[in-house]
Amino acid sequence: MSKAIDDRDHESRVDVWMKQFAAAPLEMPAPPNPALIWWKAQAARRREEERRATLPIRIAEIIQVGLVTIGGVSLAAFAGSTRPVAAMLSTAILVSAAAVAAWANLARTPSNL
Amino acid sequence: MDELEFRLAYDQTVAPLRAYVARTLGSLTHVDDIVQETYLRLLRLPSPPETLGELRPYLFRIAGNLMVDHWRRHKHETQAGDRPEPVSPVRMDHNVALEIDMGRLFRRLRSRDRQLLWLAHVEGASHREIATALGLSLNSIKVLLFRARQRLAALLEQSAHGSGQGQ
């Protein structure tokens, strides 16, 4: 019983104190300009859209570099080889790299940026 | 949310949000950085809350999370953070001195207690709203709030006792 009264006493005392504290003067500069926040948010949104739009291109470029490297190395390795399979394989890899490059170029259209 | 809607929401929420951040953070230095980041995160949402009733707890939640991040980042500066803002002697009137004393006492509470007490007693938030704003379970709010009140009451008692002895 007395504990419950104590709790209520705490609550009302804390409530009064918190309200006084909230009402106490707090010297702060003017709040941030909402126009500036809006502008920053729009700029961030544009950057994010640009990043999303160019992501496939960047991935394609990485794949392309990988394929060209593998194709180049295999061409050099099988340059003197008389086996047609090896030469065909190297050519196929290089053709794939060219196809990826072409696709990346197609993806770089203004509508995606 | 278009620019006009944002401005309207901003005008209706910025003052209580800044007060909450300033009082619970206990320092004015980073208040506006946190407030600005709160609104930027709101604007980044694909579908932000539409009504003020939904928006307010959401903003308080983002600000609360940002304050927790701030406290984690500046853990080593806790002692410095406990120091009151420098006050020039010119503006050191009675009200300012009172505010500093109250602020100092409030800063002695744990950060979670400060958030709970502010939301419950100043914002008048319901337990559900507090749970949303602090990312806690609804059942824990009653107990946590009770303990926070007890700790503040003890500090008030201690402070009254101390000032009584000083006279």
- Choose from A38, A46, A52 for mutation: most chain B CBs within 10 A: A38
pLDDT in tens, B26-84: 878 889 999 999 999 999 888 888 788 888 888 999 999 999 888 888 775 554 444 44
Name the pLDDT band for B115 (thresholds 50, 70, 90): very high
Comparing alpha-carbon positions, the chain A residue that sits nearest to B18 is A31
Q: What is the ipTM of this complex?
A: 0.74
For residues A67 and B155, what is the distance between their CA atoms, to the nearest angstrom?
Answer: 70
> How far B122 CA sits from the closest chain A CA (Å)?
6
Q: Is there a contact between A98 and A61 (Cβ–Cβ < 8 Å)?
A: no
**A110 touches B at CB < 8 Å:** no
pLDDT at B104 > cutoff 80: yes
**What mean pLDDT comes out for the span A34-55?**
90
> Pick from A19, A40, A45: which is nearest to B121 by CB?
A19
Residues of A in contact with B103 (CB under 8 A): 21, 24
What crossing angle do the helices spanning B52-73 and B3-25 adopt, rounded to 10°?
40
B19 CB neighbours in chain A (<8 A) are 22, 26
Q: How is chain A split into domains, by residue range? A: 32-112
**Percent of chain B predicted with pLDDT > 90:** 39
Residue A84 vs residues A67, A71, A88, B94, B141: alpha-carbon distances, Å:
20, 15, 6, 95, 75
Q: Is there a contact between A37 and B98 if contact means CB atoms under 8 Å apart? A: no
Taking alpha carbons only, the member of A63, A92, A60 closest to residue A75 is A92
Name the least confident of A30-44, A63-77, B89-103: B89-103
CATH architecture of B3-166: Up-down Bundle (1.20)
The amino acid occupying position A49 is: E
Q: Residue B38's closest CA among B26, B51, B20?
A: B20
Q: What is the pLDDT of residues A59-97, one digit of tens each?
A: 888 887 888 787 777 777 776 666 777 777 777 877 887
**CA atoms of B165 and B167, how far apart (whole Å):** 5
CB contact under 8 Å between B44 and A45, yes or no, is yes
CA distances from B69 to B25, B64, B73 (A): 11, 9, 6
Distance of CA A52 to the CA centre of its chain: 7
